[in-house]
Chains A and B, each alone.
Chain A
Amino acid sequence: MAVVETRDLTKVFKEGGLGAVNSVNLETREGEFLVFLGPSGSGKTTLLRMIAGLEAPTSGDILIGGRVVNDLSPRERRIAMVFQSYALYPHLSVYRNIAFPLQAQKVKKELHKEKVEWAAALLGIGALLERKPRELSGGERQRVALARAIVREPAVFLLDEPLSNLDAKLRASAREELERFHRRVGTTTIYVTHDQVEAMAMGDRVLVLNKGVVHQLGTPAEVYDNPADTFVATFLGSPPMNLAELAELIVGFRPEHLRPSSSVTGDAVSFRLKVENIEYLGAEWIVSGTVVGGRLGGKKVFSRLTSAQDLALEGTYDFAVPQRQLKFFDRSTEKRIEPRAVSLQ
Chain B
Amino acid sequence: MLAPAVLYILLLVAGPFLLAIFYAFSDARIGNTQLHFVGLENFRSILQSPSFRIAVRNSFIFTIGSQIVVIIASSILAIALEQPFRGRGMLRFLMLLPWVAPIALGAIGWKWILDSIYSVISWVLVALHLYKPFGAPMWLGEPHLAIASVLLVHSWRLIPFSTVILLAGRTAIPKDIPEAAAVDGAGFWRTEFLILLPMMMPIISVAVLFGIIFTFTDMTVVYILTAGGPFDSTQVLPSLAFTLGIQGSDLAAGAAISLTLVPLLVIIAYLMLRVAHRAEVT
Contact = CB atoms under 8 A, between A and B. Distances in A.
A89 to B, nearest CB: 6
A324 interface: no
B182 A101 contact: no
Interface stretch (A76-84, A209-217, A250-258): A76-84
B185 to A, nearest CB: 4
A73 interface: yes
A85 B198 contact: no
Interface string A77-106: 001110111010111000000001100110
Given A85-B174, A87-B174, A75 B179 contact: no
A74 interface: yes
Given A91-B198, A104-B190, A74 B174 contact: no
Nearest to B182: A74
B199 A101 contact: no
Contacts, number: 59
A134 B282 CA distance: 9
B184 A104 contact: yes
Given A85-B174, A87-B174, A75 B198 contact: no
A87 B176 CA distance: 6
A327 interface: no
Given A87-B174, A91-B198, A91-B199, A104 B179 contact: no
A11 interface: no
Contact of B199 (A83, A84, A90): A90
B187 interface: yes
A75 B185 contact: yes
B181 interface: yes
B183 interface: yes
Contacts of A100: 181, 184, 186, 194
Interface in B5-50: none
B195 interface: yes
Contacts of B185: 74-75, 101, 104-105, 152
A83 B179 contact: yes
A81 B183 CA distance: 7
A52 interface: yes
B183 A80 contact: yes
Contact of A87 (B179, B190, B282): B179
A54 B175 CA distance: 11
Given A89-B195, A91-B198, A104-B190, A75 B177 contact: no
Interface string B180-204: 1111111100100011001101000
Interface string A49-69: 000111000000000000000
Given A89-B177, A91-B198, A79 B183 contact: yes
Contacts of B177: 87, 89
Contact of A75 (B174, B176, B182, B194): B182
Size class of A's contact patch? Answer: 20 to 34
Interface in B147-196: 174, 176-177, 179-187, 190, 194-195
Contact of A148 (B184, B198, B199): B184
B186 A75 contact: yes
Contacts of A81: 180, 183
A83 B187 contact: no
A311 B212 CA distance: 79
A84 B177 CA distance: 11
Contact of A104 (B186, B201, B282): B186
A84 B194 CA distance: 22
B183 A74 contact: yes
Interface in B66-113: none
A54 B184 CA distance: 12
A80 B201 CA distance: 28
Contacts of A87: 174, 176-177, 179-180
A91 B197 CA distance: 10
A148 B183 CA distance: 11
Contacts of B179: 54, 74, 83, 87
Interface in A95-143: 100-101, 104-105, 134
Contact of B183 (A54, A84, A89): A54
B184 A101 contact: yes
A105 B184 CA distance: 8
Interface of A: 52-54, 73-75, 79-81, 83-85, 87, 89-91, 100-101, 104-105, 134, 148, 152
Given A84-B176, A87-B180, 14 more contacts: A52-B183, A54-B182, A75-B187, A79-B183, A80-B183, A87-B179, A89-B181, A89-B195, A90-B199, A100-B186, A101-B184, A104-B181, A104-B185, A104-B190
28 contacts: A54-B182, A73-B182, A74-B179, A74-B183, A74-B185, A75-B183, A75-B184, A75-B185, A79-B183, A81-B180, A83-B176, A85-B174, A87-B174, A87-B177, A87-B179, A87-B180, A89-B177, A89-B195, A91-B198, A91-B199, A100-B184, A100-B186, A101-B185, A104-B184, A104-B186, A105-B185, A134-B282, A152-B185
Q: Which 5 A-B pairs have the closest CB atoms?
A: A87-B180, A87-B176, A104-B185, A75-B185, A101-B184
